[in-house]
């Protein structure tokens, strides 16, 4: 069976590609260009003897070029899963940012993942498939920094909850992972208070739990921190800078 990995060129998406290919899954790897995914696809195809196809797609474009992905899928085994680890943040993502940044962060982190999910939902329902989304502990509470990123990921989480409600009667599995800090580009050069989690370990959990449903925090201790931030009195929270 075939799995689409949206954002399969680096970080968690790359680790998921390695994990699913190792298990014998065919893959379609989406990212803005194919300079990273083409050598990755060749590497995985040789190492695990599976078919892996790179596709260039910019999630910031509207409408999304579904025809390009669909024509690649025609040469693959039936679609079993859609994994959406793609995400982006931006240094200029502070309250009062310009429209271009706001629209870009909203489109890549929320609208495009939902449009992909909507497009492939009927096919995945036919194939008793799997849809997996990825959020962030940044959604615990709105801050002046990462404002649009956190808002988009909160919206994505809500959409995935709606999907889970729908999926309960439709035969698909649907998971949403709220992630703490990862050892990837997205966290690079950021002043972070906590250790970074290995993407290989996260990818392994996602693979092992692929046929379950629900929302989970990874690594799990982040749930405690997430809730603690939510319960902080406003007089303390408003003084924090993180």
Ligand X SMILES: NC(=O)c1ccc[n+]([C@@H]2O[C@H](COP(=O)([O-])OP(=O)(O)OC[C@H]3O[C@@H](n4cnc5c(N)ncnc54)[C@H](OP(=O)(O)O)[C@@H]3O)[C@@H](O)[C@H]2O)c1
Task: State yes or no: residue 176 binds ligand X (CB under 6 A).
Answer: no
Task: Please give the C-alpha separations between residue 83 and each of 4, 57, 129, in angstroms, as whole numbers.
Answer: 6, 15, 11
Whole-number Å distance between alpha carbons of 94 and 97:
6
Shortest distance, position 11 Cβ to ligand X, whole Å? 2
Of residues 69 and 124, the one with the C-beta less far from ligand X: 69
Interacting residue with ligand X among 82, 179, 206, 218 (CB under 6 A): 179
Shortest distance, position 221 Cβ to ligand X, whole Å? 14
Shortest distance, position 219 Cβ to ligand X, whole Å? 11
Rg of the chain in Å (alpha carbons):
18
**Count of residues that bind ligand X according to CB under 6 A:** 28
User: What binding mask, one character per residue, do residues 41-80 give for ligand X by CB under 6 A, x or -?
Assistant: ----------------xxxx--------------------
Strand segments (E) across 91-191 = 130-136, 173-179
Closest CA to 30 of 62, 66, 76, 75: 66
User: What binding mask, one character per residue, do residues 133-152 give for ligand X by CB under 6 A, x or -?
Assistant: -x-x----------------
The backbone torsions φ and ψ at residue 132, rounded to the nearest 5 degrees and listed phi first, read -130, 125
Query: Is residue 123 within a helix (H) or strand (E), and if so which, with residue range?
Result: helix 112-126
Give the binding site for ligand X (CB under 6 A). 7-13, 31-32, 36, 57-60, 85-88, 108, 134, 136, 179, 181-182, 184-187
């Amino acid at each position: 069976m075939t799995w689409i990995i949206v954002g399969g060129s680096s970080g968690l998406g790359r680790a998921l590609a390695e994990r699913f290919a190792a298990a014998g899954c065919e893959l379609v790897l989406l990212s803005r260009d194919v300079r990273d995914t083409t050598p990755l696809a060749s590497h995985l195809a040789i190492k695990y003897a599976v078919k892996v196809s790179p596709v260039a797609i910019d999630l910031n474009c509207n409408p999304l070029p579904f025809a390009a992905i669909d024509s690649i899928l025609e040469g693959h085994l039936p679609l079993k899963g859609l994994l959406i680890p793609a995400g982006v943040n931006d240094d200029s993502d502070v309250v009062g940012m310009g429209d271009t940044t706001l629209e870009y962060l909203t489109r890549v982190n929320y609208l495009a993942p939902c449009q992909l999910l909507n497009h492939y939902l009927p096919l995945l329902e036919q194939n008793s498939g799997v849809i997996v989304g990825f959020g962030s502990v940044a959604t615990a509470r709105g801050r002046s920094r990462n404002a649009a990123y956190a808002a988009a990921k909160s919206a994505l989480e809500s959409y995935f909850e709606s999907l889970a409600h729908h999926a309960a009667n439709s035969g698909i599995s649907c998971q949403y992972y709220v992630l703490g800090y990862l050892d990837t580009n997205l966290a690079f050069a950021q002043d972070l208070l906590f250790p970074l989690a290995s993407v290989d370990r996260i990818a392994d959990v996602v693979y092992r739990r692929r046929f379950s449903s629900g929302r989970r925090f990874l690594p799990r201790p982040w749930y405690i921190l997430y809730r603690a931030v939510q319960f902080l009195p406003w007089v303390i929270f408003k003084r924090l800078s993180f």
